[in-house]
Each structure stands twice: as structure tokens, then as C-alpha cells.
Amino acid sequence: MAVEHPHMNHFSPQILISNNREMVDQGNKNVYEYGMNQMDSGLTYSIPISRKRSRESSSFDASEFLCQNNNAQFVNGNEFDSQNKGIFTFLGQDMSMQIYQQQLEIDRFIANHTEKVRLAIQVTRQRNSMRLIAAAQEGIKNKLRSKDDEIVKMSKLNYALEEKVKSLNVENQIWQQMAQSNEATANVLRLNLQQLLTQIQQQQQQQQTANDVEDNESCCGSNYEEEHHGNNNGTTTIDNNGDTLNRLCRNCGIVESCVLLLPCRHLCVCSTCESSINFCPICKSLKNATLHVNMS
């Protein structure tokens, strides 16, 4: 970055314009005598001055002398060596140190400005880097937060499924126990039913045996009693001497009675009419069983 340094006029107008010829001549003599050399700071002045002096000029135009500077260059310089460098003088005054100080101030100003710009660029870069890092961190945090939420959700779902499996296992055990208990109950009921059926069969056999014994001991006098009841009701009287007529079947009246009805134990039907009747013809009781009697 180039900084234009304003030209400063270190000379008073009274010095620049003077009617004293000797002072002007002495100044020109000093310029020719000492010359102008390059400074250590890199600032170069090339001032071409005519070696011919005009006898007719009564004054020296110092402003025209200063405007003849046509080549100025800024170069870094940090030291001033009085042994190797010449001395820039004008009108008997040494201007080298002032020019060198001004050059140092310019260099210092440029260095400070450069440092400020560098620091500003560095701060801007750091700020942009921090923004990028913050944005990346925010995106990563959002992703991690979503993953954490998903993990928590899956953990809850897994816990619910585990509890469901446990409840199903408990329910399965309960059903197994109920099935075992029902099976045991069914076995007990089956055994009781078998025992009950056995007892019923035994009772039926005992009852059948008792009925057989009672049938063998029974008499058929009830048939004759019914005949006497029939005589009292106005029916035909049968003589006691006709035993064969009294033993005829009460259903058909043709064949001799040979079947004993149970449980009333009336011997009143024949073998042919046994299957066609359900009630006793004498007492009208329900027939449960029959027993054939050999009358020969």
C-alpha cells in the first residue's frame, strides 16, 4: 500500500526570497560543493541544477528549485550511516536528519497500518472460522439429539416388548396349570363315572336276582281275585273248577298265559302278546321287564 506523503516546506519565505546576493551565492556554492546523495531509507532525490549562474538574476527562486524533483521512491530503510552517506544541506542547514526522521515516520505509519489490516483480516478469518465451526457443531448436535431420541424410543419399545413377552409367559404358565388341573379333574370324574356305572350294574344284577327269587315265590292268586272283582261288577262268573279258562291271556284270550310282568308280577299275557303291550292288563302299571314261566 503506497501512502503519499505531503511535501513540507521547511523554509521560510524570507529565506527563500532575499535581496542579499551573497547569501544566495553562498547557498548555491554549498549545493554544488556537497551535492545530494541517496539516503539509507531508500528515499532518493535527483535534483538537476544548472551549473551556470546568471549574473543578471538578482534573486534565487527557491520554489522553482523544489519543483524540479521528478523521481521519488519509497524503499524500506532502518539505519542511517553517517560514514557511508553524504549530507543533504540547503542554505547552510543540514536537512538529512529531518528527511530521515520523516522517512522513518512514514515507514512506521505504513507498518502500523499493515499490522492493523493484518490483525483485522486475522480477526475476520477467526470469526468466520468460529461461525463455520459453530454451524457444524450445531448440525452435529441436532443429529446426535435425534439419534439419542431414537435410542430412547427404541429402548422404551424394547422394554414394552419384554414386558409383553413376560406377561405372555405368565399367561401361558397359567393356562398350562389350568389344563393340567382340568385334565386331573376329568380323570377323577371319569373314574367316578366308571365306579358309578359299575355300582349301577351291580345293583341291577342284584335287583334282577332278587326279582327272579320273588318271581319263583309269587303266586297267581291275584288273577282269580280280579275275576271275583269282575263278578261283583256284573261280568260273567267263572267257576273255580275251570282252571284252564282262568289262565288264558288277558290280551288275546286265546293262548294260556305264560309271561310274568314285572314289577307288578302278574302272570296274565302270553308270549305272543308280550311284545305288543307296555302296561299290565290287570293293574295298568308300566311294564319294566318280563319273565317266561314254564307251566308244564
Give the H/E segment covering residue 267: strand 266-269
CA torsion through residues 146, 150, 155, 156, sign: positive
Looking at the structure of the chain, the number of domains it has is 2
Q: What is the pLDDT of residues 42-97, one digit of tens each?
A: 434 444 444 444 444 433 344 443 334 433 333 344 444 443 344 556 666 677 88
Task: List CB contacts of 236: < 8 A, sequence separation 6 or more.
Answer: 230
Instruction: Give me the domain span that covers residue 73.
Output: 13-94
In a domain, 63, yes or no: yes
- Of 47, 68, 94, the residue that ends a domain is 94
More confident residue, 133 or 39: 133
pLDDT for residue 163:
94
More confident residue, 243 or 125: 125
b/e code 79-98 from CB counts within 10 Å (16+ = b)? ebeeeeeeebbbbeeebbee
Q: What is the pLDDT of residues 245-294, one digit of tens each?
A: 667 888 888 888 888 888 888 888 888 888 888 888 888 888 888 888 87
In a domain, 291, yes or no: yes
Q: Indicate if the pLDDT at residue 13 is higher than 70.
A: no
- CA nearest to 89, candidates 81, 98, 80: 98
Rg (C-alpha) for the chain, rounded Å, is: 78
Q: What is the CATH classification number for the domain harbouring 253?
A: 3.30.40.10
- Of 39, 69, 94, the residue that ends a domain is 94
Q: What is the pLDDT of residues 195-246, one digit of tens each?
A: 888 888 888 888 877 766 655 544 444 444 444 444 444 443 444 445 556 6
- Of 71, 94, 117, the residue that ends a domain is 94
Lowest-confidence range among 19-23, 121-125, 137-141?
Answer: 19-23
Q: What is the mean pLDDT of residues 13-35?
A: 42
Count of CB atoms situated within 10 Å of the CB of 42: 13
| DSSP code, position 269 | E
In a domain, 150, yes or no: no
SS3 of residue 141 by DSSP: helix
